[in-house]
Chains A and B, each alone.
Chain A
Amino acid sequence: QLQLQESGPGLVKPSETLSLTCTVSGDSISSTSYYWGWIRQPPVKGLEWIGNIYYSGTTYYNPSLKSRVTISVDTSKNQFSLKLNSVTAADTALYYCAGLSYDSSGFRVEYWGQGTLVTVSS
């Protein structure tokens, strides 16, 4: 059973870079069974996909965030990370890391972290 745990600052200043890390346990991040992703949920709103990464480094990003997002993987630490630069108050949200399966029907989230709240404020 996969477990994912987000970590990182809960408060980021406007115009700075949001950085989060997800630690994976219960399986290797190099597993061919999963993609690893980030999804966020602004307060009292729906879910928004940020992007996915495969252990090989292949990435897929939400077009609306692509210019500001970088997702990377560290196989030695069984972790993957999110960087979102030039943040504004609109980036305030609960950030989830996720383990996604991929098949002919596309991506679906099989495992979710507990989420970490990031507030953008000076």
Chain B
Amino acid sequence: SYELTQPPSVSVSAGQTASITCSGDKLGDKYVCWYQQKPGQSPVLVMYQDNKRPSGIPERFSGSNSGNTATLTISGTQIIDEADYHCQAWDTSTADVVFGGGTKLTVL
């Protein structure tokens, strides 16, 4: 089955740029979306189709996907961005939904 790998944790200073990666075999051939999950809350979609932001998601969130790695980038990271981030892809050959293990973003 298809697997996505994320780093368990990423730290960034407030105001700096945070990059959260998601790796998988030929991931660039698939579309990736990202969810933000704050403690005690349900996840929220923050990026879809690699680099599209849903309505209401700040412009400081951006995404890319190439080769074996997708990246969620947060520019000018704010304290309120501290959360777990989960990547998700869709295996076209099996129609399976696949999640990465999640990355805890700490804003210092």
Q: Are A and B genuine complex partners? A: yes
Which of A's residues lie within 8 Å of B, judged by CB? 37, 39, 45-49, 52, 60, 62-64, 96, 100, 105-110, 112-115
Which residue of the partner chain, among A47, A60, A113, contacts B96 with CB atoms under 8 Å? A60
Taking a contact as CB atoms under 8 Å apart, the answer to whether A108 and B98 are in contact is: no
Number of interface residues of B (CB under 8 A): 25
Answer whether A108 and B88 are a contact pair too, CB < 8 Å, given A60-B96, A63-B94: yes
- Considering the complex, which residues of chain B in the window 46-64 have a beta carbon less than 8 Å from any beta carbon of chain A? 48-49
Please classify the interface of chain A as helix (H, G, I), strand (E, B), loop, or mixed, using the class held by over half of its residues. Answer: strand
Answer whether A106 and B89 are a contact pair too, CB < 8 Å, given A52-B97, A62-B96, A63-B96: yes
Closest 3 CB pairs of A and B: A106-B90, A105-B31, A112-B42
Which of B's residues lie within 8 Å of A, judged by CB? 1, 30-31, 33, 35, 42-45, 48-49, 86, 88-90, 92, 94-102
Answer whether A47 and B43 are a contact pair too, CB < 8 Å, given A63-B1, A105-B31, A106-B89: yes
B26 to chain A, nearest CB (A): 15
Alpha-carbon distance A27/B54, docked complex (angstroms): 20
Instruction: Count chain A CB atoms within 10 A of each CB in B35, B43, B100 and give the residue with the most.
Output: B43
Alpha-carbon distance A110/B48, docked complex (angstroms): 10
Taking a contact as CB atoms under 8 Å apart, the answer to whether B42 and A49 are in contact is: no
Alpha-carbon distance A45/B1, docked complex (angstroms): 19
Alpha-carbon distance A96/B97, docked complex (angstroms): 15
Which residue of the partner chain, among B97, B100, B102, contacts A107 with CB atoms under 8 Å? B97
Taking a contact as CB atoms under 8 Å apart, the answer to whether A115 and B42 are in contact is: yes
